[in-house]
Structure formats: structure tokens, C-alpha cells
Amino acid sequence: MHPQRAALAKENTRQTVLLKSGFYLILITYLTLFIRLNLVDRIREFSLFKEPDWWSVGLFTLLMLLPLLPLKLLFDWSLLYYIPKKFGLIKYNLFHFLKKSAQSMLIIYLLLTLYSYLYYYSIPLKLPGFIPVAFSVLITPSVIAILIFGLTLLCSPLVPKFLKLSPLEESTSKRFNKLLNKHHLKPSHLATFKDSDKTNSMSAFFTGFGPFKKIVFSENLLKKATQEELEVVGVHEIGHYRYGHFLKGLTLFSALIFFYTYIGISLLKRFGQALNSGALPDLANFPLLFLFLLIINLVGWPLYLSIKREWEYNVDRFAIKAINNSRSFISIMEKFMESNLKDPNPHYLIRILFFTHPPIIDRINLAKKFRK
């Protein structure tokens, strides 16, 4: 990697990490002030929220989020538009960004409102000993369902892969086709999506299950990679299918939501009234519940990412062994570094808190071991 590009990659990663960390700290500070300033007591004074119905629960969630909307817009502008534009990673205009940001805000609101509805209407089931478990069982499949629905139908510019796939027209090698057949896949399971008009980054992924499974290559990847490099990427994605990572990923994320919710409700039961946040299921203790969830996430999210990185590492080993072509593996990793501008060798804390994949330098070193 050219030293100038390496410096840009490090700076891009640094600014992105600082921005995400700062916004997370702002969220925790906002909810803490919400509680410490006794705004929960003022909420209880409104007759609208003393005996909430279905629409007042949604309104309460909106009012709680309203002060954060300008900050969220500023965060999105910095993360999704200003920084990528500064480093030449995107091509889309401000209008396209605003559309993306509005859609992501809608997703967040729908998820939190669903969480609030289930919280308020499931707690009064009079199961005091089972409240955390019962609520967690109710909310986990609901959140997963709305998340998948939201990402696929409401957020298509963020994930064009799910809605705008087209068959892969490029021919593939006999060796790659043989590996496809070995794992019960066909060339018809290969697809691509157009992204060259919006970004300079490259990507590939495996998605779906049953008749809907796909190995997807971005248009930029098809343009920049050689035939051998595409084969490396394709076999890597076959590895995800072989190890069942799509369904395992949904299961892992579901487990994460379950345990977040279980611990959050348990803490709320134990400390809610002591912190003047109200008894279950008082609407006014939503801020405290969400604060607990943010704090729990500081432990749960790094564990989730560590599992994801281990999966990627295992799939890298599978791909290198299957094709016996370390040279092409290393060259495509270098191209990913060049196009996506991710720090190839980040600080350990950045690695465990923000990276879903092993750093590029580790992946290259793995390939070099097989070449010896």
C-alpha cells in the first residue's frame, strides 16, 4: 500500500472511531441528564402519560428522542457524508445522504417504539418472577423481524444489495464452479449490484438461505479485481455458506438482544425505584432502561465483534486452503485496503471495539504463512 494511502486509511479510521465514540458518549450523557434532572417526574404530570394507550406510548418515545434528532443528523452527516466525501469514498450527493439519514432515523424510531410497546404491555402480565425472561422472549423475535423488514424494505439505499441484485454475467473459472457444485451452489446463486455511481469502495457478501441464498459481488469489485482475485473472494463467501454463518449470525444477534433485554429489565426491577424512575411498567423509566442497555452494550458488543472476526478468520483459512493461491489472496486484500481506506493495522482497542473483520495486515500475514 502506498504510504500516502496508508496515512489516509489510518486518518479515516481515526476520525470515524472518534465520531462514533463521541456520539455514544453523548447518548449516555443525555439519558443520564434526563434522569438526574428528574424529567421523569415532569413526564408523570402529563395526564396523557398517566394511563397510556397505544398512541401515547409511541408519542412518548418520539418526545424522548426529539432532542437527539439534530445531533443524530449531524452525526450521520459527518459519518455518512462529510468524512467519506473528504477521503473520496463516496460519490452520492447531499440529497441522497438526507434520504439515507431519514430512513435510518425511521428504523431507529420503529425499533424503539416496538421495544416500548412490548415493554409496557407485556410487563403487566403479573409474572413478577418471570418478567425479565418473559419480556426478553417476546421482544427478541419481534426486533429481529422488524430489523430485517426495515433493512430490506425501508432502507434500500443503505443496503442496495437486498433489493437491486442482478445475475452475475462474468464467467467463472472451472475450479470455482467445481467448488460451487461441491457445496450445492450454482452459478445462478451468484449476483452483483450497482454501486459505482455511489461509492469507490469494494464489497462482497453471502446472504440468505434455502432458495434465496446468494453470493454477491459489488460492481466496483468486479471492475477492480482480476479473475483470480474474484475467485478468492468467491471462495471466501462459499466458506460463509459452508459454515452456516448467515443463520448463525441471526441466532447470535437474537441471543444478544435477549440477554441485553434480560439484564436491562433485571437491573430496572432492582434499581428503578431507588433511582426515582418509577415502578414497572411506568413509561417514565424508559430512559433508565435505555441507559442500562447502552452500558450493557459496552460489554456485549465487543464480544459479538470478536465472534464475527473469528468467523472471518476461519473463512480466510478455508479460502486459502481451497484455492492454494496466497498471492491472489494478498493482492485482493491490498486492493481492499486501497479502495475502502480502513486502517490495516489499528490499535488493539479500535480493533476489538469497531472491527467486524480481522485487520488487513493480519489477513495478509495468514496468507503468507500458507505460502511458506
Q: What is the pLDDT of residue 155?
A: 35
Place 139 in a pLDDT band, splitting at 50, 70 and 90. low
Q: What is the pLDDT of residue 145?
A: 65
Give domain status of residue 228, yes or no: yes
Q: What is the pLDDT of residue 209?
A: 75
Q: What is the pLDDT of residue 162?
A: 46
Q: Which three cell numbers stand for residue 63?
A: 418526545
Do 237 and 173 belong to one domain?
Answer: yes
**Complete edge-to-edge strand list for the sheet that includes strand 166-167:** 166-167, 190-193, 214-218, 204-207
Do 62 and 135 belong to one domain?
Answer: yes
Place 111 in a pLDDT band, splitting at 50, 70 and 90. confident
CA distance 80 to 19: 11
Q: What is the pLDDT of residue 126?
A: 45
Do residues 199 and 220 lie in contact, with contact meaning Cβ atoms separated by under 8 Å? yes
Q: What is the pLDDT of residue 51?
A: 59
- The proportion of the chain whose per-residue pLDDT surpasses 90, expressed as a percent, equals 37
Do 217 and 197 belong to one domain?
Answer: yes
What's the whole-number mean pLDDT along residues 64-85?
A: 89
Residue 33 has pLDDT above 60, yes or no: yes
Nearest 5°: phi and psi at 359?
-55, 150
Residue 48 has pLDDT above 70, yes or no: no
CATH classification of the domain holding 192? 3.30.2010.10
Give domain status of residue 372, yes or no: no
Do 227 and 315 belong to one domain?
Answer: yes
Q: Helix 360-371 crosses helix 326-340 at what angle (to 10 degrees)?
A: 170
pLDDT tens readout for residues 174-185: 888 888 998 889
Do 51 and 172 belong to one domain?
Answer: no
What's the whole-number mean pLDDT along residues 228-256?
A: 90
CA distance 69 to 112: 14
Do 21 and 96 belong to one domain?
Answer: yes
Do 11 and 86 belong to one domain?
Answer: yes
Q: What is the pLDDT of residue 219?
A: 92
Instruction: Tell me what the pLDDT averaged over the chain comes to.
Output: 81
Q: What is the pLDDT of residue 220?
A: 93
What's the whole-number mean pLDDT along residues 264-284?
A: 68
Q: Helix H segments across 37-154?
A: 39-45, 54-65, 69-76, 83-86, 94-122, 131-149
Give domain status of residue 361, yes or no: no
Do 195 and 124 belong to one domain?
Answer: no
Do 194 and 204 belong to one domain?
Answer: yes
What's the whole-number mean pLDDT along residues 43-49?
A: 59
Residue 122 has pLDDT above 70, yes or no: no
Residue 142 has pLDDT above 60, yes or no: yes
Return the closest-CA partner of residue 358 out of 318, 295, 308, 321: 308
Do 239 and 318 belong to one domain?
Answer: yes
Do 139 and 220 belong to one domain?
Answer: no
**More confident position, 5 or 2:** 5
Do 46 and 16 belong to one domain?
Answer: yes
Q: What is the pLDDT of residue 271?
A: 76
Q: What is the pLDDT of residue 311?
A: 97
Number of domains in the chain: 2
What's the whole-number mean pLDDT along residues 185-193?
A: 89
Q: Which domain holds residue 266?
A: 3-161+247-304
